[in-house]
Amino acid sequence: MGIATEWFRRTFHRMGSPRWFFAGSRGWMLGLYLVGGALIAIGSAWGLGFAPTDRLQGNSYRILYVHVPAAHLAEAVYVAIAIAGAVHLVWRMKMADLAIAAGAPVGMTLTAAALATGYIWGIPTWGTGWVWDARTTSMLVLLFLYFGLIALRQAVPRAERAALAVSVLAIVGVVNIPIIKYSVDWFTTLHQPASIRIGERPSIDPSMLWPLAVNALGYYLFLVGVVIAALRAKIIEREAKADWVRTWVQGR
């Protein structure tokens, strides 16, 4: 077995240990909060104060800098949750289930933020906040999926049963992600198509692109930090009876 494979196997194995994760994650979490938060502050100030005004949309386009990262992360968190669902079903790894429980409220908040900022952006740009086009509707479905992940866990009384049901829903729901992504290409939508595509020159000027890149990276780092923090809280909630948790509580 190669060194990389061995490292991966060992890390994967350790990640399955709530105790190991809790002990090792605090520094990462704090760092991600700090760096992510700073990047979001820089990117937002850049986007609001220094990026040029759009020829067609005027200043309303600046909503892009908070709308696009929120929408992108809302989808990315869902993909991560679906992967965790598969890991939980295949290996019955408790940490994967905890990750779903930690990520769902984060993803739901981001989806709501993307929908709300999109609504606000739509008023001056489309003349209406909401339209039932493919992009907005599939995004609304994502909001309901997140809500479903949270509600389903509370609806099933036995924790292990609930965890299995939530994992299945997480996997099934991932079909919505490509629908969101390609909705602006497959259907005629009021929503504009993507300005940045892999392997193509972006149809957005670099002076407008930079703040978006900074904010997107900031959102990524900050929200990974938030999910780690939420996972730490879930670990303590679920492992409340474990000796190491009691020792940790008494040591504070």
User: Are 78 and 142 contacting, i.e. CB atoms less than 8 angstroms apart?
Assistant: yes
Biggest distance spanned by C-alpha atoms of the chain: 62
Min. distance of Cβ 144 from other proteins in angstroms?
18
Min. distance of Cβ 32 from other proteins in angstroms?
10
Please give the Cα distance from 189 to 126 (Å, whole number). 11
Min. distance of Cβ 242 from other proteins in angstroms?
10
User: Are 119 and 251 contacting, i.e. CB atoms less than 8 angstroms apart?
Assistant: no
User: Are 208 and 52 contacting, i.e. CB atoms less than 8 angstroms apart?
Assistant: yes
Burial class (CB in 10 A: 0-12, 13-18, 19+), 209: middle
User: Are 74 and 141 contacting, i.e. CB atoms less than 8 angstroms apart?
Assistant: no
Query: Which residue lies nearer to other proteins by CB, 70 or 145?
Result: 70
Query: Which residue lies nearer to other proteins by CB, 114 or 145?
Result: 114
Query: Which residue lies nearer to other proteins by CB, 109 or 198?
Result: 109
Min. distance of Cβ 176 from other proteins in angstroms?
21
Binding site for other proteins (CB under 8 A): 33, 37, 40, 44, 48-49, 53, 58-60, 62-63, 66-67, 70, 102, 105-106, 109-110, 112-113, 116-117, 120-121, 123-124, 222-223, 225-226, 229-230, 232-234, 236-237, 240, 245-246, 249-250, 252
Query: Which residue lies nearer to other proteins by CB, 172 or 240?
Result: 240
